[in-house]
Amino acid sequence: RGSEGGKRRKKSSSTSRHGRRESRRGQRGRSMSRSPSRSGSPPGRGGGRRGGGREERSRDRGSGGHRSNGSRSNGAGRGGRDGGRSERSRNGDRSNAPRAAKAKPRGDVYIPPFKLARMMKSVTDKTGEEYQKLTWDALRKSLNGLVNKVNQANIKEILPEIISENLVRGKGLFCRSLMKSQAASPAFSHVYAALASIVNTKFPEIGELLVKRVVLQFKGAYKSNDKAVCTASLKFIAHLVNQQLQHELLALEILALLLENPSDDSVELAVGFVKEVGALLSEVSPKGLFSIFERFRGILQEGGVGKRVQYIIEGLFAVRKGNFEDFPALTPELDLVEMDDQITHEISLEDRLEPQTSLDTFAVDSDFEASEKRYE
């Protein structure tokens, strides 16, 4: 009997729980049927939210495809974007519109050689400004091409072509072309110096102008602490001294300037300069070279420079002990000028030098035809 009573109690408690669940479900269904949905319409198959969304879409379709205020604002925003795009396109058209080209001098515009020759033939007035400009452009391009093409093997073949050009009229162009080529390729400094030395025997004013410009370039780079330009300028000056186009006194002045207040950079520049010009100085000015090496010895003893520069100075003493065997003043291929024919210029660092840059630009010659015949 106790077990049967317990079973009956369990069955009654389970039935009471089931009844309570059913009553709760019924109350929920009644409340849902009585209260409207959030969108204001009875729930459909997909629930209140989905049904309301469908009804709103149908209303929009029934109103002739017109959008609500929100959609109009979006349309206005798109219209603003389209307007901005149209304005940008207009501005772009304006920016792409051809602008008035600035008038450039003829020397800055590349003209092919065949076209330049055709233009020179078409000009009837052989003494006018237009024809003189064309001949100036042809001279500039020819000198640039010949200087860029010269090397140790073909210098003898290139030299007659350079002499055939009017170097009296284009001496500024020739010096500028030499300096630009040497700055771009310092390893060919000895070749450019040999070419300048040969031209100097025919036109000494060209050699003097070249030395002045190179010295001015070195002084400007030394003041502005431009080590790269100083190195290239010193190498060119050293080979001009080796060709005896410039007196060796300039080399001693430069070394005294570099070693007066020694620093790592100045001492390194001086060591490189002595390597290039030391072989000649040992022959023509041994006392001057001895004083320079005594100054190097004093810098080593003072220890005012870094370890790397001290090793460089010790290497220079080793080069001097070997009589500058690896740094000859002249190679047999570039020893092209006889001692009696060479003209040596004596330019100092203390001189007031003028670069004469006006010679690099075109100027009308009133006696053009006569000067051309005189050069021929």
Tens digits of per-residue pLDDT, 168-212?
999 999 999 999 999 999 999 999 999 999 999 999 999 999 999
Dist. CA 218–CA 16, nearest whole Å: 112
If one counts every other C-beta atom within 10 angstroms of the C-beta of residue 134, the result is 20
In this predicted structure, what is the pLDDT of residue 26? 60
DSSP 8-class letter at 335: -
Q: SS in 3 state form for 213-268?
A: HHHHHHHHHHHCCCHHHHHHHHHHHHHHHHCCCECCHHHHHHHHHHHHCCCHHHHH
Question: Bigger pLDDT: 335 or 60?
Answer: 335
In this predicted structure, what is the pLDDT of residue 369? 80
DSSP string, 166-203: -TTTTHHHHHHHHHHHHHH-GGGHHHHHHHHHHHHHH-
In this predicted structure, what is the pLDDT of residue 76? 44
Contacts 24+ apart (CB under 8 A), 139-145: 139/165, 139/166, 139/169, 139/170, 139/173, 140/107, 140/170, 140/173, 141/113, 141/116, 143/170, 143/173, 143/174, 143/177, 144/173, 144/177
Q: Decide if 210 contacts 175 (C-beta within 8 A).
A: yes
In this predicted structure, what is the pLDDT of residue 365? 82
Residue range 214-227: mean pLDDT, rounded: 95
Q: How confident is the model at residue 70 (pLDDT cuts 50, 70, 90)?
A: very low
Is the pLDDT at 72 greater than 60? The verdict is no
In this predicted structure, what is the pLDDT of residue 370? 82
* Helix 227-242 with 171-184: angle, nearest 10 deg: 120
Residue range 357-369: mean pLDDT, rounded: 86
DSSP 8-class letter at 351: S
Q: How confident is the model at residue 14 (pLDDT cuts 50, 70, 90)?
A: low
Q: How confident is the model at residue 39 (pLDDT cuts 50, 70, 90)?
A: very low
Is the pLDDT at 17 greater than 50? The verdict is yes
- Burial profile 203-227: b = 16 or more Cβ within 10 angstroms, e = fewer: beebbbbbbbbbbebbbebbeeeee
Dist. CA 245–CA 277, nearest whole Å: 13
Q: Decide if 244 contacts 207 (C-beta within 8 A).
A: no
Dist. CA 342–CA 199, nearest whole Å: 10
Is the pLDDT at 115 greater than 90? The verdict is no
Q: Decide if 275 contacts 327 (C-beta within 8 A).
A: yes
Q: How confident is the model at residue 41 (pLDDT cuts 50, 70, 90)?
A: very low
Q: How confident is the model at residue 363 (pLDDT cuts 50, 70, 90)?
A: confident
**DSSP bridge partners of 44:** 47
Dist. CA 361–CA 350, nearest whole Å: 28
In this predicted structure, what is the pLDDT of residue 28? 60
Dist. CA 295–CA 317, nearest whole Å: 12
**DSSP bridge partners of 47:** 44
Q: What are phi and psi of 207, to 5 degrees?
A: -65, -40
In this predicted structure, what is the pLDDT of residue 230? 95
In this predicted structure, what is the pLDDT of residue 112? 66
Q: How confident is the model at residue 42 (pLDDT cuts 50, 70, 90)?
A: very low
Share of the chain above pLDDT 70, in %: 66
Is the pLDDT at 67 greater than 50? The verdict is no
Is the pLDDT at 30 greater than 70? The verdict is no
Q: How confident is the model at residue 116 (pLDDT cuts 50, 70, 90)?
A: low
In this predicted structure, what is the pLDDT of residue 49? 46
- Mean pLDDT over each residue of the chain, to the nearest integer: 78
In this predicted structure, what is the pLDDT of residue 232? 95
Q: Would you give the distance in Å from CA 260 to the centre of its chain?
A: 34
In this predicted structure, what is the pLDDT of residue 344? 94
Is the pLDDT at 296 greater than 80? The verdict is yes
Q: What is the pLDDT of residues 324-348, one digit of tens each?
A: 999 999 999 999 998 888 899 999 9
Q: 208 is written with which tokens?
A: 């003097």
Q: Which of 87-96, 117-126, 258-267 has the lowest mean pLDDT?
A: 87-96
Share of the chain above pLDDT 90, in %: 54
